[in-house]
């Protein structure tokens, strides 16, 4: 029987889920893996306000150094999130020769390269399956299940909160605010959901996936990031009428010398499998060579989903032994790859204007688009209403982000346009 002493830092939703998981599956771990996991110390700032029933002989503390200074603890699980003091905790744990498991996507996205190099130098493991997709084995699929494959592009629904909101807006016709409120009531969104709905949570995860697939650490500042707060029922209804779905996607593509990395709402065909991913489910669709296209999906939010990924890392780490190398811990990168600026990227666009309903409106808008080299595939205008502005929707040919932005700035200044135009990129995923 292999005994593994654990120090857990962070006893919030995921941390308490990990403790429940360890207790419920204790016999299973013994019988199947010949492993005994001992939660030696539990650290939380408010530990004495928490429900500590069933923790037995576990040491309880408010000081994370009590975990890091304990020579008997072999594995530190960091579940407090954010950059600080998580960065100091993980760095110190590795320097003290302890393995680390974390679900902290912000930390890995920002400091992954340095931490992986430190882990290698200390002959330690740094595991992070739950940082993307909670318990869905996205990281293991890319680095182990598809070992030997290379990757050309991937598309990810990697934020359960946004996917839940867009699903409720589409299927149950809720407003954005009502859908967000429901997500918070169900525990799928934080009390402060800003990082989810502005796209930054997805950007953190995209940076991690780009590193795993392309071998390139992409700075968050180089990832174009746009959230879902501007999406309206008009956009969803028009998308439905065109057999399209709106999804917040993390998109990355690799060329010979360049990488695209962007997060934004995207119109995709309802015939594509990603369009059917609803609620809090996450999914990643990637093109592997020589295997082909792969889709992996599952619940990407929730206490036990995230706890499952942590436990998976724990079992894999304990089973492999100290001297094994994790395939996901790259220590160098492909320095020749450059990240393309969003201005250079070409896509088709869906654009919506709220315009005064009178003759000549469409010609003025089309004229500005034409002068910027933007062709129009189709135009749709709601029934005439001379007393108020009406939505005008256009689908364009391929154009660069730069030209579209310049055109929209000109169009917004027209007296006939009564609100900021909405532009949603379109992607063909087959």
CA count, 13 A, side-chain hemisphere, 318: 24
Backbone angles phi, psi at 266, to 5 degrees: -140, 140
Nearest-angstrom CA–CA distance, 283 and 305: 14
Least Cα distance to 251 among 312, 297, 206 occurs for 206
Run of H or E residues at 233: helix 233-241
Q: Catalytic pick from 140, 205, 247, 253?
A: 205
Q: What is the DSSP letter of 229?
A: T
Give the dihedral of Cα atoms 326, 332, 338, 343; nearest 10 deg. Answer: 40
Helix axes 105-121, 86-95, angle to 10 degrees: 20
**Alpha carbon distance 120, 325 (integer Å):** 9
Strand order in the sheet with 99-102: 59-61, 35-43, 2-9, 75-78, 99-102, 126-127
* Tokens describing residue 143: 């680095």
The closest alpha carbon to 122, from 95, 87, 90, belongs to 95
Rg (CA), the chain: 24
Burial class (CB within 10 angstroms; exposed 0-12, middle 13-18, buried 19+) of 84 = exposed
* Cα distance between residue 303 and residue 282, in whole Å: 15
Residues 400-412 as b/e (b if ≥16 CB within 10 A, e otherwise) read: bbebbebbbeebe
Angstrom CA distances, 254 to 40, 145, 182, 345, stand at: 45, 21, 37, 12
Two tokens, residue 392: 């005008």
Please report which residue ranges of 50-129 form alpha helices under DSSP H: 65-68, 86-95, 105-121
24 is catalytic: no
For the annotated catalytic residues, the residue numbers are: 205
């Amino acid at each position: 029987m292999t005994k593994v002493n654990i120090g857990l830092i962070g006893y919030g939703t995921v941390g308490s889920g990990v403790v429940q998981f360890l207790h419920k599956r204790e016999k299973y771990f013994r019988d199947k893996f010949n492993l005994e996991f001992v939660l030696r110390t539990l650290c939380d700032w408010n530990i004495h306000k928490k429900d500590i029933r069933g923790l037995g002989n576990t040491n309880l503390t408010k000081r994370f150094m009590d975990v890091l200074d304990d020579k008997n603890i072999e594995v530190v699980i960091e579940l407090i999130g954010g950059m600080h003091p998580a960065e100091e905790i993980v760095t110190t744990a590795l320097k003290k020769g302890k393995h680390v498991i974390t679900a902290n996507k912000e930390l890995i996205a920002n400091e992954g390269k340095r931490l992986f190099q430190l882990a290698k130098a200390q002959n330690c493991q740094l595991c992070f399956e739950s940082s993307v997709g909670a318990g869905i084995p996205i990281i293991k699929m890319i680095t182990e299940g598809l070992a030997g494959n290379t990757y050309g592009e991937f598309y990810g629904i990697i934020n359960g909160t946004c996917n839940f909101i867009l699903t409720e807006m589409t299927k149950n016709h809720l407003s954005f605010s009502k859908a967000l409120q429901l997500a918070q009531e169900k525990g799928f969104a934080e009390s402060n959901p800003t990082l989810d709905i502005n796209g930054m949570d997805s950007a953190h995860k995209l940076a991690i996936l780009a590193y795993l697939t392309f071998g390139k650490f992409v700075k968050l500042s180089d990832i174009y990031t746009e959230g879902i707060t501007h999406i309206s029922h008009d956009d969803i209804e028009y998308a439905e009428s065109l057999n399209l779905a709106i999804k917040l996607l993390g998109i990355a593509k690799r060329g010979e010398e360049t990488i695209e990395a962007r997060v934004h709402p995207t119109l995709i065909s309802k015939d594509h499998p990603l369009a059917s991913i609803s609620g809090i489910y996450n999914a990643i669709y990637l093109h592997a060579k020589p295997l082909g296209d792969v889709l992996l999906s599952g619940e990407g939010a929730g206490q036990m989903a995230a706890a499952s990924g942590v436990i998976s890392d724990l079992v894999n780490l304990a089973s492999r032994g100290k001297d094994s190398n994790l395939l996901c811990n790259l220590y160098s990168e492909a320095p020749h790859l450059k990240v393309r600026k969003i201005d250079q990227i070409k896509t088709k666009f869906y654009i919506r204007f709220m315009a005064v309903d009178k003759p000549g409106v469409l010609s003025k808008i089309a004229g500005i688009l034409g002068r910027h080299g933007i062709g129009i595939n189709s135009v749709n205008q709601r029934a005439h209403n001379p007393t108020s502005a009406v939505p005008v929707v256009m689908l364009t040919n391929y154009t660069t982000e730069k030209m579209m932005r310049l055109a929209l700035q000109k169009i917004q200044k027209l007296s006939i346009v009564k609100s900021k135009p909405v532009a949603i990129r379109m992607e063909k995923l087959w």
